[in-house]
A = this chain, B = another copy of it.
Amino acid sequence: MTTPLEAIRQRIRPELERLNQHIASSLASDNELMNRVIDGYLASKGKQIRPVLVLLSARLFAGAVTERAVRAAAAVEMLHNATLIHDDVVDDSDKRRGHPTINSVWDNHIAVLMGDFFTSSALKEAISTCDLRIVSALASLGCELSVGEMDQIYNARFHQLNEESYFTVIARKTASLFVACVEMGAYAVGVSDDDPRLAALREFTRRLGLCFQIKDDIFDYFDEGRIGKPTGNDLREGKVTLPLLHALTASDHPRREEMAAIASKEDLGADEISDLIAFAKEAGGIEYAYATMNRLRDEAVDILNDAHAGAEGKALISLLDFIITRDN
């Protein structure tokens, strides 16, 4: 079955091919060892939702994708991969997208260096557009992503259990990247920063990014078999995501106080994690998270329909629906 994302990718296949050529040539160097590490890494590309957003945004505004937009998309994909490579070092992960990670095949030193190299290469690619707005969007994004991750660590350490803190974190660590994608796509085809159609697209995309993270967080409540990562990873790191957050703060479940006491502990055992996950489900946390995504989805669609009719607008909405319904 073709997913909506695959259908979108089909429509922009030539541009995606150019994108991947740009990434490969940006990352090529005269160091053989490095080229081997990178070839291995590039063998598994992932969904590339972020560069797809850059390209869709360019098409939305200009009807076509310029060379500048392809470069901006390559830059944003390399920056995103830099953060994944570093995440895998920190989490000591063996696999990503079903492939062995750089830190597991090589070592932490090489993986940290490769992450830094991806970041600098992303920047060089952005600079090759000769558009300071694109470069600037990428740099601001880099800061926002780090601060978002630090916000999440802060919330975990100091047990900040409220929706406002949760949404601040996911806006920074996830939605900001998606918003930067559509901005860069628009800049790449000469759209002005104060164009109200860009403002609308930003608002749509912010909600799409929030949905992406809420859905990602929901995966952590289910079995490994279905989604490719072990249940309860977030809780193990002290991260309380929307389903449990809702169950702990807004449900009238009889075990709410007991569970809140467990959630406030410094280190959780495997049984405690299972209990918290079961409790989040019983108290309606998963339904609440889906209802939140659906509310965001409806707002996003209204915003987009007002500003952007046509095929690219429809593609963006199908991408949003795919993000909410995807099972990996």
Interface string of A23-35 (1 = CB under 8 A from B): 0000001111110
Task: Decide if B31 touches A151 in the complex (CB within 8 Å).
Answer: yes
**Chain A 85-120 interface residues, beta-carbon cutoff 8 Å to B:** 86, 89-90, 108-110, 112-117, 119-120
Q: How many identical chains are in the complex? A: 2
Known: A124-B139, A139-B123, A142-B120. A150 touches B34 (CB 8 A): yes
Task: Decide if A90 touches B112 in the complex (CB within 8 Å).
Answer: yes
Q: Does any Cβ of B come within 8 Å of A154's Cβ?
A: yes
Interface string of A260-296 (1 = CB under 8 A from B): 0000000000000000000000000000000000000
Known: A127-B136, A127-B139, A132-B127. A157 touches B120 (CB 8 A): no
**B-side contacts of A82, CB under 8 Å:** 116
A contact patch SS: helix
**B-side contacts of A157, CB under 8 Å:** 33
**B-side contacts of A31, CB under 8 Å:** 147, 150-151, 154
Task: Decide if B121 touches A143 in the complex (CB within 8 Å).
Answer: yes
Q: Does any Cβ of B come within 8 Å of A146's Cβ?
A: yes
Q: Which residue of B is nearest A31, CB measured?
A: B150
**B-side contacts of A154, CB under 8 Å:** 31-34
- CA–CA, A33 and B112, complex, Å: 23
Task: Decide if A33 touches B116 in the complex (CB within 8 Å).
Answer: no
Task: Decide if A86 touches B110 in the complex (CB within 8 Å).
Answer: no
Interface string of A229-268 (1 = CB under 8 A from B): 0000000000000000000000000000000000000000
6 residue pairs A–B, Cβ–Cβ below 8 Å? A31-B147, A31-B150, A34-B150, A116-B142, A117-B146, A124-B139
Q: Which residues of A contact B (CB under 8 A)?
A: 29-34, 82-83, 86, 89-90, 108-110, 112-117, 119-121, 123-124, 127, 130, 132, 135-136, 138-143, 145-147, 149-151, 153-154, 157
**8 closest A-B pairs by CB:** A120-B142, A117-B146, A123-B139, A120-B143, A33-B154, A90-B109, A124-B139, A34-B150
7 more contacts with CB within 8 A, not counting A32-B154, A132-B132, A135-B135, are A33-B154, A89-B108, A90-B109, A113-B153, A116-B145, A120-B143, A123-B139
